[in-house]
Amino acid sequence: MDLFETSARSGDAAPLAPRAAKGLSAAIRNLAGWDRAYPESAISHLGAWIVAGRKGTARGVAVGFPAGKRPRWTSGLKGAQTSAQGATVLLLDGTHETLRALREALPFLQPQPTGKTPSFGFGDRTGMATPGHLLALKGSGFFPNLAQQSIREMTRTQRAPAEVLDAAVFGALQAGHLTGFGADADHLKTLDDVDRCAEAGFVSFTLDAIEKVIDAAPRMNDADLEQAYQKILAEVPAAKGWEKKYSGKTFTFEKKVAVRMEGRAFREAIVKYGRAIPYWVEMGKRVYQKKKDRPCEIEIAVDETGAVTTGAEHVFITRELTERGMIFQGFAPRFVGEFEKGVDYKGERKVLEDSVIEHAVLARAHGGYKISVHSGSDKFSIYPMIAKATQGRFHLKTAGTSWMEAVRVIARKDPSLFREICDTVRGQFAKDRASYHISGDPAKVPAPLTLKDADLERVYVVEDDGRQIMHVTYGSAFTAKDDGGRWLFRDRIFALLAKEEDLYTDCLKKHLSRHVKGLKIRGAKRATVQA
Ligand SMILES: [Zn+2]
């Protein structure tokens, strides 16, 4: 069989036919000594073919082409060269250098901005979740933001931005995903955060100016608010013009949304965000400067502020930023009610709907950016409303699911490892929950040692209290060390996920497909057309 010759087609990237893909991946698995090669990864691209595989947790990539006809795009790839059946095969370790070179050579592995397409953000805390994420979105019309990780998550899991992007690039290759993906550096709070993520290759930048936000403004009494307002006037040069521009005015949009900026509403908005405006602009300028050669996009996030984002605040932030030349593709308000991690929405759904509609109207009136919903996993009861209220112009972020489905796999396949992890992280819960929005109570959850194997998944993955404990303690699970400074669980978790990769992928697909179905963007798009 002249498999190697015939598989190297000359056109742009395309999947190999299923039989050829199966045969080629089996041959490469043997040649490379991998545990597995992924048939769905087998593609042809400009005179060569590519196959991805794994040995244990180590990633591998093979690139083959007819002997003596090395395509120019492969010139940046450095690996052992061997020959088989008349073809030259490069066997590459899936290192940062390899994945970076592949990303530079293959346009479909280069992250892209999400633009105005409805998009779904997938944080991947294990670095192995991408194939399941992509399967969940298949045929949905959503654009995937694969490498979506906040600085907080990277710190807690001790992963650098480049590692997070590498994992997404390899996952896309592994899944044979040729239609593009984004990479979102989430909740960046400093210029240094921007630099690190821009250099790593991220193209979406979620800018969070929380360090400059005066979160207490809505809770101040009138005298304190006035004093804080005077301070902003003294500190922020642009603030002098704000009174004339906004105070006492009512802004009306689409004949149905009236935003009143009188009295306290005006002063609260200025005090809360007055210092954040120039800081956002500074961070935005840094993004444009760092990414001047590549398309990129910005999201403005206030979802981690303490009080619900008002229409007045939205109008003020948006107008001031756009006047200073900032273009952004998404705005993440702090919504009414509780968006706790890993569980359904808690709060008045009608009130939430009114506020989502208001923010969506304001977004349409100011350039048509997307409304971004953070902590979006497991909010099944509000998905249809979000799709409809935003007329399909939204971005949904999830992150913890990648970890929670790993927890499910561990509970099912290695109960004793699960008990060790669970016992350790239960002790860390009080500390780990501090920066998260949750109400889970460990006192209500039986200790893992008292549970039968068959009950671990139900108590710690399905039921809310146990689920929230596991949801926020991922950092402790990944970074716990023994007395000798060795990882307690990290390597064992990765080894188990590599061994049970198909189950992990399947669990992710199953759980996240439910999200995608609820969001029904096709229906939402139709609604836009009718309106
Ligand atoms: Zn957020």
Give alpha helix (H) positions in 251-342: 264-273, 276-290, 311-323
- Residue 505: phi and psi, rounded to 5, are -60, -40
Q: Considering the candidates 40, 166, 184, 186, report the single residue annotated as catalytic.
A: 186
Q: Considering the candidates 40, 193, 299, 358, report the single residue annotated as catalytic.
A: 299
Q: For helices 161-174 and 130-137, give the axis angle rounded to 10 degrees.
A: 60
Calculate how far, in angstroms, residue 139's C-alpha sits from the geometric centre of ligand 1. 26
CA 206 from centroid of its chain's CA atoms: 10
Instruction: Assign 3-class secondary structure to 370-431.
Output: EEEECCCCCCHHHHHHHHHHCCCCEEEEECHHHHHHHHHHHHHHCHHHHHHHHHHHHCCHHH
| Residue closest to 333 by CA, chosen among 370, 276, 372 | 372
Distance, CA of 451 to CA of 448 (rounded, Å): 5
How far CA 302 is from CA of 277, 349, 352, in Å, comes to 12, 20, 16
Distance, CA of 408 to CA of 414 (rounded, Å): 10
The pLDDT of residue 432: 81
Buried b (16+ CB within 10 A) or exposed e, 77-107: bebeeeeeeebbbbbbebbeebbbbbbebbe
User: Does the annotation count 299 as an active-site position?
Assistant: yes
Please name every residue paired with 206 in a beta bridge, in sequence order, or none if there are none: 299
Print pLDDT tens along the chain (531 aa): 455 554 555 568 999 999 999 999 999 999 999 999 999 999 999 999 999 999 999 999 999 999 999 999 999 999 999 998 789 999 999 999 999 999 999 999 999 999 999 999 999 999 999 999 999 999 999 999 999 988 888 888 889 999 999 999 999 999 999 999 999 999 999 999 999 999 999 999 999 999 999 999 999 999 999 999 999 999 999 999 999 999 999 999 999 899 999 889 999 999 999 999 999 999 999 999 999 888 999 999 999 999 999 999 999 999 999 999 999 999 999 999 999 888 899 999 999 999 999 999 999 999 999 999 999 999 999 999 999 999 999 999 998 899 999 999 999 999 999 999 999 998 888 888 877 777 878 888 999 999 999 999 999 999 999 999 999 899 999 999 999 999 999 999 999 999 999 999 999 999 999 999 999 765 444 433 333
Calculate how far, in angstroms, residue 5's C-alpha sits from the geometric centre of ligand 1. 49
Q: Quickly tell me which residue has 């990765």 as its tokens.
A: 494
Distance, CA of 195 to CA of 200 (rounded, Å): 9
Pairing relationship of beta strands 370-373 and 143-150 according to DSSP bridges: unpaired
Calculate how far, in angstroms, residue 397's C-alpha sits from the geometric centre of ligand 1. 8
Distance, CA of 329 to CA of 287 (rounded, Å): 14
Structure tokens at 515: 């999200």
Distance, CA of 470 to CA of 492 (rounded, Å): 17
Calculate how far, in angstroms, residue 399's C-alpha sits from the geometric centre of ligand 1. 10
Calculate how far, in angstroms, residue 2's C-alpha sits from the geometric centre of ligand 1. 52
Collect residues with CB below 5 Å from ion ligand 1: 303, 374
Q: Quickly tell me which residue has 């506020």 as its tokens.
A: 355
How far CA 414 is from CA of 349, 450, 460, 478, in Å, comes to 39, 16, 14, 16
Structure tokens at 415: 């109960």
Calculate how far, in angstroms, residue 373's C-alpha sits from the geometric centre of ligand 1. 8
Calculate how far, in angstroms, residue 336's C-alpha sits from the geometric centre of ligand 1. 14
